[in-house]
Amino acid sequence: MDVDSYLKNELAALLDVVRCTDIRELEIQQGEISVRLHRSEILESSPDGSSFEDTATIGTLPVHSVVAPLVGTFYRAGKPGMSPLVGEGSHVEPDTVVGIIEALQVLTDVRSGVSGTVTRVLETDGHPVEYGQPLFEVTLDG
């Protein structure tokens, strides 16, 4: 496993741990590697306080989590049988639709909200998702 893959795996594990806590900011430095996590509210009136977006930095590579804006069924494609809207390695802009969530037979577009490259797809097509659940990780453009 190369260093970049190792760091991404370690960051993903760290993000999973931090998501289960009320930590809002964390900075860790070991040698030449520094990681800074900052969690900010994306909606002021979240019903359970769990709605957030994560941005983390490994050295100079910021990583953003695209989260579910509502509870429903997550779809990666625009229509059944079509290929996914984005995948790992896809470049996205803030208004890029990265998925769709169906709730009560209403389809809601999920937009990336940032410019960068999709580095991880975190949710499976056709699975239920919860409000604020991470769906994708995007490495932000410099």
Find out whether 24 and 106 touch, Cβ atoms under 8 Å: no
The rounded distance, in Å, linking the Cα atoms of 89 and 39 is 24
The pLDDT value recorded for residue 44 is: 38
Give the model's confidence band at 129: pLDDT under 50 very low, under 70 low, under 90 confident, else very high: very high
d(C-alpha 110, C-alpha 103), whole Å: 13
How much is the pLDDT for 46?
37
Beta strands in 21-105 (DSSP E): 25-30, 33-40, 53-58, 61-67, 72-75, 91-92, 97-103
Per-residue confidence (pLDDT) for residue 50, from 0 to 100: 37
| 111-125: b (≥16 Cβ within 10 Å) or e | bbbbbbebbbbbbee
Task: Take residue 93 and report the two structure tokens written for it.
Answer: 């802009």
Q: In whole angstroms, give the CA distance from residue 93 to residue 113.
A: 7
Higher pLDDT, 59 or 37: 37
**Tokens linked to 129:** 């998702």
CATH of the domain at 39: 2.40.50.100
Considering only 17-21, 81-85, 100-104, which range has the smallest mean pLDDT?
A: 17-21
Q: Is 80 in contact with 62 (CB distance < 8 Å)? A: no
Residue 127: domain span: 3-140
pLDDT at residue 5 in the model: 65
What band does 141 get if pLDDT is binned at 50, 70 and 90?
confident
Domain count, the chain: 1
